[in-house]
Amino acid sequence: MTVCEPGTVWLVGAGPGDPELLTRKAEALIRSADMVFHDALVGPGILSLVPASADLVSVGKRAGRHSKDQCTIDRMIVDAALAGQRVVRLKGGDPSIFGRSTEELDACRAAGVPVHVCPGITAASAAAASLGTSLTLRGKARKLTFVTAHARAGEMLDLDWRTLADPQATLAIYMGKKAAPDLAAALVAAGLSAETPIALVENASLPGERVLRTRLGLLPLTARSALGDGPALILVGEAMAARPAPLPLRTSYTAMATSRSADP
Amino acid sequence: MTVCEPGTVWLVGAGPGDPELLTRKAEALIRSADMVFHDALVGPGILSLVPASADLVSVGKRAGRHSKDQCTIDRMIVDAALAGQRVVRLKGGDPSIFGRSTEELDACRAAGVPVHVCPGITAASAAAASLGTSLTLRGKARKLTFVTAHARAGEMLDLDWRTLADPQATLAIYMGKKAAPDLAAALVAAGLSAETPIALVENASLPGERVLRTRLGLLPLTARSALGDGPALILVGEAMAARPAPLPLRTSYTAMATSRSADP
């Protein structure tokens, strides 16, 4: 297994939250670290894998809370590596998808610090797994687009709604809970039907997970009334249509097996 | 850790190939299986985790090779579960992204077989990690789109090039090696500059990995002359611009640390 070497930085994807959804490589890197800098969204189940001898530093950024700015984080991880530490920078999800990795990669490289990336499960993959559905569908959803709806307070979302309102695509919107009314209005104004199936997944993979399926027109109401304080992903498109798949009682299995084997 | 129960099917993402990039959950599911049905692209490093007592069945589909059709695969996994087996269906990458999971999910549900999904690292995340770059960039690449360029022999690629040719997005093209000349021509015709940075990653995360950075105009030549037979991902967009980041010799670290600490 890959381990973190002295004087090296690894940007490690912590995945959606469930410690089981860490990669084996991420686990090995965390277990070999001297210093772990982590986002606020990385929870205790994952942080419990950090060795007792290692320093654990929260550099959490959460909307509306005081947190360390990006330059300070850059400097902290670089200085730790220059001091010879084995540095793991744990980021929620996948570092390469809305993870602001570029600043930290550039800072390490500018300082001559070897830096590597370990990928993680991104929220859209975890949400799809929880929904038991695919994000892509042959013929119906041949394109999958990720955007983030995060905008500073008072700013309008500056996204190209015309290209996003594609009935043949699945749209995964990260951090879209607060902007839900604007998102729904903009997509419908750009031509997407208010009847388009959507799913909302809050706290994907965690014990407090909530999974909701509804229609685009009901997104604002659903986001306001049915979601809590956790991170939420909004999925839009035909692939989110609920499947007619109630599970029959277990006692019917044998009968089904018999009828199946009688098929031509 | 989650284990596979008798009579249950798990669709498990095997990730890009490196056994270290399996999730901990995927490993636990594989180790608890009685039967494992796997794609051709799932390699020996991962298959070595399957217990010796379990049945291992290749249901590989590779372009141009004889393979089991989807209906046969659906029936095999359903029948195994109905017979009380602990069934793992191992799929390359993430089952929810171009993994054709829908057919297998529907078949299980129609037969009353409990079916679950364990997400995997998709090729785009693995390729970005190998490149040491982010797929999204604040201000420059705020949208990330995945498409597959796989088309049947003789068919034209039927994609909406106008919306894909977005200079503010990163485009990840799965299975695009053969279609590279068509892809490049279509994107340039739709308005994307031939100077747009691209990256090609073949066998992402595996020992035979090749990583190439070039420009969109050189995609056809590069795909033809510099890639081998492995699965390749094409990444298009400003986020793929090569970073000016040669690593200095290790002996310069201390000097840099000193000069950094003298900064205001």
Task: Quickly state the pLDDT bin for A254 (edges 50, 70, 90).
Answer: very low
Amino acid B65 reads R
- Domain assignment present for residue B260? The answer is no
- CA B161, CA B186: separation in Å to the nearest integer? 6
Same domain, B225 and B146: yes
Residue A125 has its nearest CB partner, among B1, B96, B260, at B96
- Domain assignment present for residue A2? The answer is no
Residue A126 has its nearest CB partner, among B119, B144, B145, at B119
- CA A192, CA A236: separation in Å to the nearest integer? 10
B118, B146, B180 - which closes a domain:
B118
Same domain, B38 and B60: yes
Residue B25 has its nearest CB partner, among A21, A79, A143, at A21
The pLDDT tens digits along chain B (264 residues) read 999 999 999 999 999 999 999 999 999 999 999 999 999 989 999 999 999 999 999 997 654 555 678 899 999 999 999 999 999 999 999 999 999 999 999 999 999 999 999 999 999 999 999 999 999 998 889 899 999 987 665 565 778 899 999 999 999 999 999 999 999 999 999 999 999 999 999 999 999 999 999 999 999 999 999 999 999 999 999 999 966 444 443 333 333 333 333 333
Same domain, B183 and B216: yes
What is the rounded average pLDDT for all residues in chain A?
89
In A, minimum Cα distance to B161 occurs at A163
- Domain assignment present for residue A262? The answer is no
Same domain, A203 and A220: yes
Same domain, A130 and A71: no
B95, B118, B141 - which closes a domain:
B118
Instruction: Provide the 8-state DSSP code for B242.
Output: P
User: What pLDDT sits at residue B242?
Assistant: 66
CB atoms within 10 A of CB A138: 13
- CA B116, CA B26: separation in Å to the nearest integer? 12
Same domain, B19 and B59: yes
User: What pLDDT sits at residue B66?
Assistant: 54
Per-residue pLDDT reduced to its tens digit, A24-43: 999 999 999 999 999 988 99
Q: Strands B197-202, B210-215: parallel, antiparallel or unpaired by DSSP?
A: antiparallel
Same domain, B137 and B236: yes
- Test the A interface: residue of B253, B254, B256, B260 with most A CBs within 10 Å: B253
Same domain, A81 and A186: no
**Tell me, what CATH number does A194's domain have?**
3.30.950.10
Same domain, A83 and A128: no
- Test the B interface: residue of A5, A12, A25, A192 with most B CBs within 10 Å: A25
Higher local confidence (pLDDT), A114 or B151: A114
Higher local confidence (pLDDT), A130 or A69: A130
User: What pLDDT sits at residue B246?
Assistant: 42
In the predicted model, what is the mean pLDDT of residues A163-174? 96
Same domain, A108 and A143: no
Indicate yes or no: CB of A168 within 8 angstroms of CB of B146.
no
Spot the catalytic one: A39, A74, A94, A166. Answer: A39
- Test the B interface: residue of A144, A155, A254 with most B CBs within 10 Å: A144
List active site positions of B: 39, 61
Half-sphere exposure of A181 (CA within 13 A, CB side): 5
Higher local confidence (pLDDT), A45 or A252: A45
Instruction: Give the closest-approach CA distance of A227 to chain B in angstroms.
Output: 23
User: What pLDDT sits at residue A259?
Assistant: 34
- Chain A contact set for B126 (CB, 8 A): 119
SS3 B207: coil
- Chain B contact set for A24 (CB, 8 A): 19-24, 27
- Domain assignment present for residue A250? The answer is no
User: What pLDDT sits at residue B138?
Assistant: 85
In the predicted model, what is the mean pLDDT of residues A83-105? 96
Indicate yes or no: CB of A143 within 8 angstroms of CB of B146.
yes
Residue B96 has its nearest CB partner, among A128, A148, A160, at A128
User: What pLDDT sits at residue B153?
Assistant: 56
Residue B110 belongs to what domain range? Answer: 8-118
User: What pLDDT sits at residue A260?
Assistant: 34
Per-residue pLDDT reduced to its tens digit, A123-162: 999 999 999 999 999 888 989 999 998 766 556 577 889 9
Same domain, A112 and A133: no
Per-residue pLDDT reduced to its tens digit, A3-26: 999 999 999 999 999 999 999 999
**Tell me, what CATH number does A46's domain have?**
3.40.1010.10
Q: Is the pLDDT of residue A261 over 90?
A: no
Q: Count up the domains in chain A and report the number.
A: 2
Indicate yes or no: CB of B79 within 8 angstroms of CB of A21.
no
**Catalytic site includes residue A61:** yes
* ipTM of this complex prediction, to 2 decimal places: 0.90
- CA B84, CA B78: separation in Å to the nearest integer? 10
Q: Are A200 and A173 in contact (CB under 8 A)?
A: no
If you count residue pairs, one on A and one on B, with CB atoms under 8 Å apart, how many are there? 236
Same domain, B114 and B129: no
Indicate yes or no: CB of A24 within 8 angstroms of CB of B24.
yes
Q: Are A12 and B12 in contact (CB under 8 A)?
A: no
Instruction: Provide the 8-state DSSP code for B250.
Output: G
Indicate yes or no: CB of B79 within 8 angstroms of CB of A116.
no
Q: Strands B115-118, B8-13: parallel, antiparallel or unpaired by DSSP?
A: parallel
pTM: 0.90
Indicate yes or no: CB of B25 within 8 angstroms of CB of A18.
yes
